[in-house]
Amino acid sequence: MRVGVVVFPGTNCDQDIEHVYGGLLGAETVKIWHRDTDLQNVDLVVLPGGFSYGDYLRTGALAKLSPVMDSIRIFAADGGRVLGICNGFQILCESGLLPGALLENVGRRFLSRFVNIRVESRASFFTSTCERGSVITCPIAHFQGNYFADEKTLRELEENDQVVFRYCSADGALSDSDLDINVNGSIHSIAGVRNRLGNVVGLMPHPERAVERLIGDVGGNSGLSLFQHAA
């Protein structure tokens, strides 16, 4: 498997992604600069976290205009797999590859902490090797992670099983109103969504930061299960 890791000015999680796919799972990884349009025959494109363009205007807004995004749109339309984490998720929403948008956290704070997320759908490439209902503990680090979609979009997401992850308690219970659980106030506790086909997935939490027991003393390596699709 060949994984392309897209780097925008301000991206800072690209090496973490290379470490998971390349270092731990043995996939081949290549970095793709945002001005490049050649996706180098990769099987999966990852938009990592960070602060592309310094979050100017809106998070992910300027990144969506980078030349690489045109290639990614074509790649995704052909069924190519695309994963966006944190700022990558924001870019996918801004570019229309995923529905909805990310607002500022309800509690008006940048949140850097561990959260629990529940796998809601296996109908995405990213969760295809996971069990529905399984709980993953991993970090978040964002100010704009409050998922929002209008009522019509939300209904479609729920009806089509497009909600991939929800914030939950350690034992998998949901509460939209409890900010200890649904930490940023996301609508329907949504932490990640997929497109209709399931080949484009985005989420705010960072499972790539909970893949080794050495560094994940809270979440252990529970994030690693999500990357097994590349193993």
User: Which residues are catalytic, by number?
Assistant: 86, 206, 208
Instruction: Give yes or no for residue 111 binding other proteins (CB under 8 A).
Output: no
Rounded alpha-carbon distances, angstroms, from residue 139 to 30, 66, 96, 128, 170: 25, 28, 26, 21, 13
Contact positions with other proteins (CB under 8 A) in 181-210 = 185
Pairing of strands 81-85, 44-47: parallel
Pairing of strands 200-203, 81-85: parallel
Residue among 33 and 110 whose Cβ is closer to other proteins: 110
Contact positions with other proteins (CB under 8 A) in 26-55 = none
Residue among 20 and 63 whose Cβ is closer to other proteins: 63
Contact positions with other proteins (CB under 8 A) in 55-84 = 57-58, 61-62, 65
Task: Supply the minimum distance, in Å, between the C-beta of residue 20 and other proteins.
Answer: 30
> Which residue in 1, 30, 106, 135 binds other proteins (CB under 8 A)?
106
How many CB atoms are located within 10 Å of the residue 114 CB? 18
Give me the half-sphere count of Cα atoms (radius 13 Å) on the Cβ side of residue 98.
34
Instruction: Give yes or no for residue 148 binding other proteins (CB under 8 A).
Output: yes
Cα separation, 204 vs 161, whole angstroms: 18
Interface positions with other proteins (CB under 8 A): 57-58, 61-62, 65, 93-94, 100-101, 103-106, 108, 146, 148-150, 185
